[in-house]
A = this chain, B = another copy of it.
Amino acid sequence: MYSVCVRGHVMIAHSFRGELFGPAQRLHGATYVVDAEFRSRELGPEGVVIDIGRAAQALSAILEQLNFKNLDDDPAFANQNTTTEFLSRVVFERMKARIVAGELGPGSQGLAALRVTLHESHVAWAAYEGPLSSGVASA
């Protein structure tokens, strides 16, 4: 199994509901350094898993929708705690939708799986991984 990974980042505000979160119930924020790892069983004719330029652009476009925002005000996340693990899946699903829509190029149809990791500090990160349509993945 091959992997190719690109990195971006996003800076957001939010707050959490539930005693579990202690002081994180207050409005605060985070920088997420985001890794998107694309997996494929085979290389395409050019010797690549995916067009890394398009992959980086897609990640950048997805993060731009979140960047410099208060996620508490985003209707897409109404009644949701935008935890790091939850946001990992949000980025996963939005990237998957772009892959399905063909935005990452024809070769991307052969991708087997995707893993999205959000680093929230030097001591904590979260991730979501799952299969893509045409592959058998490890989730």
B29 and A121 within 8 A (CB): no
Counted per complex, copies of this chain come to 6
A76 at the interface (CB under 8 A from B): no
Which chain B residue lies CB-closest to A64?
Answer: B23
Q: For A13, list chain B residues within 8 Å (CB).
A: 13-14, 27-29, 70
Residues of A24-57 whose CB lies within 8 A of B: 24, 26-33, 41, 43, 46-49, 51-53, 56
Q: How far is the CA of A70 from the CA of B89 in the complex (A)?
A: 26
Contact B126 A43 (CB under 8 A): no
Contacts of A93 in B (CB 8 A): none
Which label, helix, strand, loop or mixed, suits the secondary structure of the A interface? mixed
Contact B9 A121 (CB under 8 A): yes
A109 within 8 A of B: no
The smallest C-beta distance from A110 to any residue of chain B, in angstroms, reads 13
Whether A124 contacts B86 by the Cβ 8 Å rule is: no
Give which listed residue, B28, B43, B84, B88, contacts A69 with CB less than 8 A: B28
